[in-house]
Structure 1
Amino acid sequence: MPFSTFRAGLIAALLGLPLGLQAEPGPPAGEVLLTVTGLPDGTPARLDRAALAALSEDAFTTTTIWTDGPQRFEGVSLHDLLAALEVTPPAEAVLRVSAVNDYAVDIPLSDARDVDGPIVAHLHNGAPLPRRGNGPLWIVYPYDADPDWRTEVAYARSVWQLDRIELVDPAR
């Protein structure tokens, strides 16, 4: 399966090529922050900060159990990330999200809502998330937007120092 339009455009943008040109896959220009595997074409997506910032930005302010007072988070929603990667997984598939320290948890696709769903945050109160401060990526739910997000289950799915997402299809 050929590279998707998104991937070709993303690679072209990162390499400074016009969008009409086809680019062979190559390493991102910056440090890879997120690797997404289990994609239909079998090719992992490796995203650096610029690639993540190029995706549709989502932001919200919420309280968390790890911080004091309302906090602003900005990033790409899980819903928009899957759409950008042109992933239409079956309903029984899950997202296995993993951190730098190998903490991993499965997130059902039902969590990847179009509205009021979790985001892959790369900014916290307007600043990049440092590795020592739960970054560079953190899956954050809008905890104040829905009582379903204020549960131990949602808190366990709020992976900080996120570096990998694997689409797991039990039917494969």
Structure 2
Amino acid sequence: MGPPAGQAQEPALPAPTGKVVLTVSGNISKTNRGNLAVFDDDMLGALPRIHLETTTVVTDGVKRFDGFLMRDLLAYVGADGGTVTAIALNDYVIDIPMEDFSRFDVLVATSMDGTRLLPSDKGPLWIVYPRDDHQELQDIRYDYRWVWQLIELDVR
């Protein structure tokens, strides 16, 4: 059954042509593989790019991270919910309040200091908070939300 008369259906996302590096599931309105939104590197690279410089609890000194804002990705897939469950390649799972992404410029990093993140070193994607810009982000509760080796997001 399609949408009611006069109501446009959300257009589908383009299909990935390369290896899928990120899957988004749950309460999303735009999909490209069943009820999922799957992305390859080129698709993620088409999102608006930003960078941030910050320290981390697992690296030395200030690092430059390049990538895209989590809120831009979630808006692109039509996410609607209160929590995003982030799942990593190493089976690490954590629930992140959706409000984090509107309150802070949370980045999904694809590179650090100009080097592409690889699974052997926190890649292919790493959720990075602008911890040096906000005192409250230097709390251990936020450190747990820095998910490296990110491969899946579930919106609830």
TM range (shorter): 0.7 to 0.9
Cα separation, 1, equivalents of 2:109 and 2:146: 10
Matched to 1:109, the amino acid is M
Stretches (4+) displaced over 6 A: none
Q: What corresponds to 2:64 in structure 1?
A: 72
Q: Which moved more, 1:158-167 or 1:34-43?
A: 34-43
Q: What corresponds to 1:17 in structure 2?
A: none
Aligned counterparts, 1:19-34, within 5 A: 26=15, 28-34=16-22
Contact preservation (8 Å) 1:6, 1:85: no
Where do 5+ consecutive residues of structure 2 fail to align? none
**How far apart are 1:129 and its partner, in Å?**
0.1
Cα-to-partner distance string for 1:50-96 (whole Å, 9 max, x where unaligned): 11110111210001111111101111111111111122x24xx2000
Cα-to-partner distance string for 1:115-171 (whole Å, 9 max, x where unaligned): x42111111111210111100100000110101211111110000000000001xxx
Cα separation, 1, equivalents of 2:9 and 2:108: 23
Q: Residue 23 of structure 2 is aligned with which of 21, 35, 56?
A: 35
SS in 1 for 2:141: helix
Contact preservation (8 Å) 2:20, 2:38: yes
Change (3 A) 1:6 1:55: farther
Q: What corresponds to 1:163 in structure 2?
A: 151
SS in 2 for 1:113: helix
Cα separation, 1, equivalents of 2:153 and 2:71: 13
Contact preservation (8 Å) 2:28, 2:78: no
Q: Residue 99 of structure 1 is aligned with which of 88, 93, 97?
A: 88
* Identical positions, percent: 36
Where do 5+ consecutive residues of structure 1 fail to align? 12-25
Q: Residue 141 of structure 2 is aligned with which of 136, 153, 158?
A: 153
Q: Which moved more, 1:30-39 or 1:158-167?
A: 30-39
- TM-score, length-normalised on structure 1? 0.78
SS in 2 for 1:157: coil
Q: What corresponds to 2:74 in structure 1?
A: 82
Q: How many residues align?
A: 146
Q: What corresponds to 2:98 in structure 1?
A: 109
